[in-house]
Chains A and B, each alone.
Chain A
Amino acid sequence: MTHTDLTQILRDHVAADEPAFGLDPVRVSAAGPGCAAAGGAGRPRSARSPSPR
């Protein structure tokens, strides 16, 4: 098994059942524990709607 073989096997495996990417930067920055650790304020830009996309 070469490096390329294994790389291809892993990429095929991952691609086989990969769901649509469900994250977006607004949700992540508002909901993540890192933000809570930094004061819980979430994304500091108020112009963005907090409603889920």
Chain B
Amino acid sequence: MRSEGEFDEFFTARGPALRRLAYLVVGDWHTAEDVTQNALAKLYVAWPRVRPESVEAYARKAVVNEALSLLRRRRDVPVAQVREDAAGAAPPTPSGTDVRAALAALPAQQRAVVALRFLDDQSVAETARVLGISEGTVKSHTSRAIATLRLHVADLVLSEEGR
């Protein structure tokens, strides 16, 4: 049986990265911390029976599922508001705000795909496994998400150059 010491080691080593993954999906650090806590608590319960080579994938899946489940329960992501803010012609926005707006403009599952593939550098196949969707769906989500992000990032470049 695997020890609690191993869980503590995993927690310390991977907790911050898992919280970053959650943050990219849910959009704020406070919620990301709650999501990570719940996911790691589930991992703790399952710890004795999770194979060492599967722990990373288990934790990643728990975090993403927890984040998407929370967003489904809330259904209050102010995407329309964020889009209006991002499209506003008035003062140029800082880059952080543009990236945040671009991410908020994506449907939650597309954000999860982006977070897994680009922040966590996971393959299409692994991303599909974590989300329980087909590789084709991962590819189409990726393509759509990049098209949306490119719009916002292009705006950012123009506004930066225009200053």
Interface residues of chain A, those whose CB is within 8 Å of chain B, are 1, 3, 6-7, 9-11, 13-14, 16-19, 21-25, 27-29, 31-35, 37-38, 43, 45
- Say whether A32 contacts B40, CB under 8 Å: yes
User: Please, how many angstroms separate the alpha-carbon atoms of A10 and B19 in the complex?
Assistant: 14
Report the separation of the CA atoms of residues A17 and B146 in the bound assembly, to the nearest whole angstrom: 23
Whether A25 contacts B146 by the Cβ 8 Å rule is: no
Pick 12 A–B contacts, CB within 8 A, sort by A.
A1-B146, A3-B118, A10-B24, A10-B99, A18-B29, A23-B37, A24-B11, A28-B40, A28-B44, A32-B38, A34-B44, A34-B45
CA distance A33 to B62 in the complex (A): 13
Task: State the 3 A-B residue pairs at the shortest beta-carbon distance, nearest first.
Answer: A32-B41, A34-B42, A34-B41
Find A23's partner among B36, B114, B150 (CB 8 Å cutoff). Answer: B36
A11 to B43 alpha-carbon distance, docked (Å): 25
Q: How far is the CA of A19 from the CA of B29 in the complex (A)?
A: 8
| Nearest CB on B from A36, distance (A) | 9
The distance in angstroms between the C-alpha atoms of A14 and B17, with both chains bound, is 10
- Asked if A9 and B99 make an inter-chain contact with CB atoms under 8 angstroms apart, the answer reads yes
Q: Is the CB of A14 within 8 A of B119?
A: yes
Contacting residues of chain B (56-109) with chain A, CB-CB under 8 angstroms: 96, 99-100, 103
Residues of the A chain whose Cβ atoms lie less than 8 Å from the Cβ of B24: 10, 14
B47 (CB) vs chain A CBs: closest residue: A29
Specify which of B24, B119, B146 lies most central, judged by the most chain A CB atoms within 10 Å of its CB: B119
A6 to B38, CA, bound (A): 28
Taking a contact as CB atoms under 8 Å apart, the answer to whether A7 and B121 are in contact is yes
Supply 4 further A-B pairs (C-beta < 8 A) apart from A1-B149, A23-B11.
A10-B118, A10-B119, A29-B41, A32-B44
